[in-house]
Amino acid sequence: MKQVRSAFGAALAKTPDYAPAEAGLARLDVAAGRLPAAIGRVRRVVERLPLQEYVVNLGEIELAAGRAEEGRRTLQLVRVQQRLLGNAGINTDAKLAVYEADHGNRHRAVKLARDAWANAPSVRSADALGWALTRAGSPRQGLKYARRALRLGSPDASFLYHAGISARAAGQHDDAARLLREALAPIRASRHCTPATHDGRWPGCDHARGGEDAGCRVARRCRDTRAARRRRGASPRELHHQPP
C-alpha cells in the first residue's frame, strides 16, 4: 500500500485540505489497525466538510475502536443532516435508507428505499432498496434490486458489495464470491496493474509487470460500456449510469 499512501500524500502536498485524500489515508490507517490515527484524520475532514459519507465513516471507526458513546453520538449527526436537507426540499431517501439499514431501523430503511425508488428510480435508489430489503431479512427480493443497480455496468464498490452480500444471503454463493471479488478489486488494483491496462482510475497503482488485474478489468469494462452506449446514441442520463 506504499504507492497508494504516496499518491494520497502527494495530493495533500498540493492541496493540503483535500478531503478525499485525507479520507483515503484514514482508510489505509484502518487497514493497518491504526484506528486512533484514522479517527483523527476523519474528524479533521468532518470539521471542514461534514458530508454524510465522512460522518458515517467517522462513527463506524469510533465504534470499531471501542468508543461506543462517541460513535453513537457521531452517527446521530446523520439524521440531523438529513432532516435539515429534507426541510430544504432535498430528497435524501436513498442515502438515509442505506444509513438506516446499517445503523438504524431496518423496516424504516425499506420504507425510505421504496419511496426513493418510486419517486426517482435510478441505480442508487435500486441499490438502496436492495440493501434495505436484504438487511430486513428478504435477500432474494433485495438481490433483484441489487442486480438492477448493476445492470448498466457500474463499478461502484458499494453496489458490488451490497449485491455480493445479498447473493450470499440468498444462497447464490458463486455469484456472491464473484461480486465480492469485484468489490475488492480497486484495493487489489493498487498493487497489481500494468502500464498497458492502467487508465488512472485507481490511485497509487505500482504498474507491476504482468497480467491485467481485476481492478483494471472493472475500470476497462466501465469505460468500454460507456463507449458502446455512445456509439448507439445513448442519452446523457444513461451514460451516467441512470436507467432509461
Q: Which residues of the chain have pLDDT under 70?
A: 1, 186-244
User: For position 55, what pLDDT does the model report?
Assistant: 93
Q: Domain 1-90: which topology? A: 1.25.40
User: For position 84, what pLDDT does the model report?
Assistant: 85
CA distance 129 to 114: 6
User: For position 227, what pLDDT does the model report?
Assistant: 56
Could you tell me the sign of the dihedral formed by the alpha carbons of 30, 39, 58, 26, in that order? negative
User: For position 1, what pLDDT does the model report?
Assistant: 67
| Cell triple for 200 | 488512472
Q: What is the pTM of this model?
A: 0.67
Percent of the chain whose predicted confidence (pLDDT) is above 70: 75
User: For position 109, what pLDDT does the model report?
Assistant: 95
CA distance 200 to 30: 24
Which residues, at least 6 apart from 176, have a Cβ–Cβ distance to it below 8 Å? 164, 165, 167, 168
CB 105 within 8 A of CB 141: no
User: For position 166, what pLDDT does the model report?
Assistant: 97
